[in-house]
Amino acid sequence: MRWAAFQFAGWAVWLCAIPLALTAQTASSSSLQSGNAFLSADLLAMQNDATRNPAQLWLEQGRKLWGNAPQKGICFECHGQAQSMKGVATQFPKWSRTQQKLINLEDQILICTQRSSKPLKGLENPDVLALSALLHDTSQGLPFRMSAAQGDEVPWQDALNKGAEQFTTRAGRMNLACTHCHELNIGKQMRADVISPAHPTGFPIFKMSWQSMGSIDRRLRACYSGVQAEVPAPGSQALRQLELFLKVRAQGLPVDGPSLRR
Amino acid sequence: MTLPDFCVPDDPQRRKGMLWAASACFMSTHLSGQATSMSDMSSEGIELVFPRLADTGNAVPLQASIRAPEGTYIQSLRVILPENPNPVALQLKLHGEPQSYQLNTRLRLAASQSVWVVAAFGNGMARANSAPTVITSTACLDDS
Amino acid sequence: MSSPILTRLAFAGSLKAGATVEARWSAAHPMDSGFRVDDSGQKIPRNIIHTVKVLLNEQLILEADLGTAMTSPVYLAFPVQVPAGGGWVRVLWMDDAGQAGETTQRLVV
């Protein structure tokens, strides 16, 4: 009963936090599309061809790192087959009681690898991204399932509210809120970019302009620099809050990463 | 007019008109064993697939299909991007004396330009073809 | 990216004796052109894969010299004639830093 009340409160806050979206003719639900729908024909063709898709390199590395036999110190030892992790990628970011903050999948991978024979450092470490690619690939087709664990509803809701607030607050020299592009101008072009509704189903992404694989943390930081705002440091709670909000907003859409992006 | 004047024009408008000749001429003098400029060579037997409008300058796909003239084979291929700081993108030495070849690769382009593919054959002949592209730019500054 | 460099070699086309397939090779090498500058303003030194050699059943079929215009990851696709009885395709690469690697893939007829 208490949980239902919180959920209602949460959704109420969320709806109130996006007045612009409510007044817009095109409701965000009709733009519930994956970023793949906004890829050019060439990039989509490259993405769909495993022999040409750069993301495949990271995916294969992920499989290699995971292992497929019970060997000491590797992922397989604790988790078994990567297939058993189906659905895991749909649940992040989570509220971590031990760390008293939101953690996303890459954060979790870093935590896990500290226990393995190959402790990794850095959110954009190629091996972290490789494992993230594997775990997202394993959850392909499954919808996001954002929820607070019992007892953590208050901080989770608070984080979600903060994310919603960021999404609707103007920022940067360009003085734009996320809503200005990603709610009000979906499908419009900014030079060669086509504005998507920013549903984060495709992570981790191989971004052509990065010429490398990158996490959602990196992509959100790029958004801040895109409006010429102060960029939060990698791993900031602000980025995790925004990620949580974006995934709640995208609920219903299935995971379809790893992906290719411009 | 000296060679540097010809090849490094200051005036951007003149540059457009001079670009083909200038870069082809400049490049051909730096390619070993080539006395003819690329733009003077026949393009027969060389088919290029290159996007007219490139999604991103970071990865522009090129497909080059080459057919050797009767009685000879393809010895080597060169991919040249005259507007790039290092114009020679790729040089291939083919073994096995193939009479036809198809190459697929992805290139990084510093600016909108034409890609040139020069094929050298076993009989000493050379052919070249080019294809233009315009690089579209992104709107957002990415400092990630 | 620190070593080892992830590479991939795949074949497109029907694997029949005498047929020509397209071998697609990619390598997740940073391919630093030497033109980029890092956050502190320092030039990132050039480090690209400069040479690639392809062997089919230990016979050299292709030698490639790569320049800074090649993307990261490198992508190179070339024809391979499938020998009767199949065999092995080996792609050897070398970079400016002196690192070398090899990608091997079996051609199963």
Q: Residues 6 or more apart from B56 whose CB is under 8 A from it?
A: A192, A208, A209, A262, B135, B136, B138
A40: closest chain B residue by CA: B55
Banded model confidence at residue B36, pLDDT cuts 50, 70, 90 = confident
Residue A83, judged by CB atoms within 10 A of its CB (0-12, 13-18, 19+), counts as: exposed
How many separate domains does chain A show? 1
Q: Does C89 touch chain A (CB under 8 A)?
A: no
Sequence-separated (6 or more) residues with CB below 8 Å from residue B100: B65, B66, B67, B68, B74
Q: Read off the CATH number of the domain in which A72 is found.
A: 1.10.760.10
Chain C residues with CB under 8 Å of B90 CB are 64-67, 69-70
Pairwise CB contact (< 8 Å): A218 & B144? yes
Chain A residues closer than 8 Å to B61 by CB: 42, 46
Domain C7-107 in CATH 2.60.40.10: yes
pLDDT at A86 over 90: yes
Give the Cα separation of C70 and C66 in Å (integer): 7
Longest dimension (CA), chain A: 57
- Which residue intervals of C1-109 are DSSP H helices? none
Is residue A37 domain-resident?
yes
- Shortest distance between the Cα of C1 and any Cα of chain A, in A, equals 7
Q: Is B143 on the interface with A (CB under 8 A)?
A: yes
Which of C66, C80, C89 should one mutate to test binding to chain B, selecting the residue with the greatest count of B CBs within 10 A?
C66
Calculate mean pLDDT across residues B30-43. Answer: 74
Q: Do C6 and A54 touch (CB under 8 A)?
A: no
Cis peptide before C45 (omega within 30 of 0): no
10 Å CB burial of residue B74 (0-12, 13-18, 19+) is: buried
With a cut of 0.90, is the ipTM above it?
yes
Mean pLDDT of the region A62-75: 92
Residue of A40, A228, A231 lying closest to B55 (CB–CB): A40
Range of the domain at B90: 41-134
Nearest to B124 by CA among B68, B80, B65, B64: B68
Q: Which chain C residue has the Cα nearest residue A65?
A: C6
From residue A35, give the alpha-carbon distance in Å to each of A53, A87, A124, A186, C47. 16, 20, 21, 11, 33
Residue B144 has its nearest CB partner, among A208, A211, A221, at A221
Are B143 and A262 an interchain contact pair (Cβ–Cβ within 8 Å)?
A: no
Q: What does residue C89 show for φ and ψ, rounded to 5 degrees?
A: -110, 125
Q: Identify whether the C-beta of residue B79 lies closer than 8 Å to the C-beta of residue B105.
A: yes
As a whole number, mean pLDDT of residues A23-30 equals 42
User: B3 to chain C, minimum CA–CA distance in Å?
Assistant: 25
Q: Is A137 a member of any domain?
A: yes
| Maximum distance among all Cα pairs of chain B, rounded to whole angstroms | 55
pTM score: 0.83
Residues of the domain holding A65: 25-261
Question: Does the residue A172 lie in any domain?
Answer: yes
Number of CB atoms found within 10 A of residue C54's CB = 24
pLDDT tens digit sequence for B78-127: 999 999 999 999 999 999 999 999 999 999 999 999 999 999 999 999 99
Ranges under pLDDT 50 in chain C: 1-2
What CATH number has the domain bearing residue B54? Answer: 2.60.40.2470
B92 in Cβ contact with B77 (< 8 Å): yes
Contact B55 A42 (CB under 8 A): yes
Let me know if residue A2 belongs to a domain: no
Number of domains in chain B: 1
